[in-house]
Chain A
Amino acid sequence: MATSQNSALLPSQAKFELKPPPYPLNALEPHMSQATLEYHWGKHHKTYVENLNKQIVGTELQGLSLEDIVVVSYNKGDVLPSFNNAAQAWNHEFFWESMKPGGGGKPSGELLDLIEKDFGSFDQFVEEFKSAAATQFGSGWAWLAYKASEKDKKLEVIKSVNAVNPLVSDYFPLLTIDVWEHAYYLDFQNRRPDYISTFMEKLVSWEAVSARLEKAKVQAAK
């Protein structure tokens, strides 16, 4: 996560930075336009980060990692004022990193094995993910997430409303798609299903998802 929480800063000076996507703003064309990135990253995401920084100044949240702020301010559903900005700051950074130019295709290796085990087949996973994204009514997100419990380690498709993300339910998020209208309206208008298909076929970074799975398994083992 992009924070300026280096050890030289006191907690009272810590603030979050707006990290750019790992590619130029026009790199996802024509599937996601530069204009969309300019507004979505340059305005929406930027505003969440700026407002979060303002909100945490002088509070005990300042100095915590972004993930910790998300979980703490979720407060078991009785959300604190900073939850919306913190979660949306986290969600958007995660979203940019879930995509890449020339993305799409299929995962491989352990990730593919796990998908086939938990969903039956890659195609069935895609069906379920697309359906979750399409049926999240209003604003929200769809996720592929990893849950490790004593009994089981498995992948699940989850949909969430507004700013909520699977961190708050103890899942390891692996992949997300933003289905707030601002994510697709300039490029697809009301055609959310077309946006979702384009995301799956042309944008998903399976490398990022695999890397996240690796990290999740290491953390789950602790």
Chain B
Amino acid sequence: MAFRSLATRKTLSLGLNSTRLTQSRALQTFSLPDLPYDYGALEPAISGEIMQLHHQKHHQTYITNYNKALEQLHEAIQKGDSSTVVKLQTAIKFNGGGHINHSIFWNNLAPIHEGGGEPPKGSLGWAIDTNFGSLESLIQKISAEGAALQGSGWVWLGLDKELKKLVIETTANQDPLVTKGPNLVPLLGIDVWEHAYYLQYKNVRPDYLKNIWKVINWKYASGVYEKESA
């Protein structure tokens, strides 16, 4: 398994021209989180080849580019360069969103021998039955939405904290769920970018969506749900 490396802190000093005390602001940069399981542990639902590429290449690239954008943003803020600050927002949404979403995704998956696929119990199980009738009905709806999404994006099961209900949403590209509503908390996200399934499932995204439920980590989703609905 890859090392878990801590987020590095870089300290930058400000205000050389100011008579006030020099303040330092730390710019936190990000690094690739460990997968909680081996690359091959989700087979046959998701191949080890895909997991390795997805984690080591795609997610890592989002993090690399996110860090770069944050450094540029930091510099632009210090210089008061508003044009650059605004121009960087796209790169931050793409790459920061990619980092957020994939970090959630790795936790949304678990090997079968570690509970992957086991239906949710407790309050989330109850909320699913209340909101959707049954787990099967929820799964069918999420899969349908995921299959129908055109281009690249994610399908989510979220909690609307304000309305206190479960929702199914999709987002385009790497937009995090919060872009669909400030009160939405992601419980479960399924990546439907082609890189998430292509080597194994080719054009048949519905088969990927059918099989991924065998390795969905409902324990994690339940934990988030319990915490956020308290």
Contacts and interface: CB of A to CB of B under 8 A. Distances in A.
Contact of B58 (A43, A140, A190): A190
B7 interface: no
A182 interface: yes
Given A43-B203, A44-B203, A190-B58, A139 B195 contact: no
A189 to B, nearest CB: 6
B198 to A, nearest CB: 4
B57 interface: yes
Contacts of A182: 194, 198, 202-203
B152 A138 contact: yes
Given A181-B195, A185-B198, A190 B203 contact: no
Given A161-B151, A163-B150, A185 B193 contact: no
Contacts of B195: 181, 185, 189-190
B57 A181 contact: no
Interface residues of B, number: 20
Interface in A42-73: 43-44, 47
Given A162-B150, A162-B151, A189-B53, A138 B198 contact: no
A119 interface: no
A180 B198 CA distance: 11
B172 interface: yes
Contacts of A190: 53, 57-58, 61, 195
B39 interface: no
B53 A137 contact: no
Interface of B: 53, 57-58, 61, 90, 94, 150-153, 172-174, 193-195, 198-199, 202-203
19 contacts: A39-B203, A43-B202, A44-B203, A47-B203, A84-B150, A137-B90, A137-B173, A138-B174, A138-B193, A139-B151, A139-B152, A139-B194, A162-B151, A181-B195, A182-B198, A185-B199, A186-B199, A190-B57, A190-B58
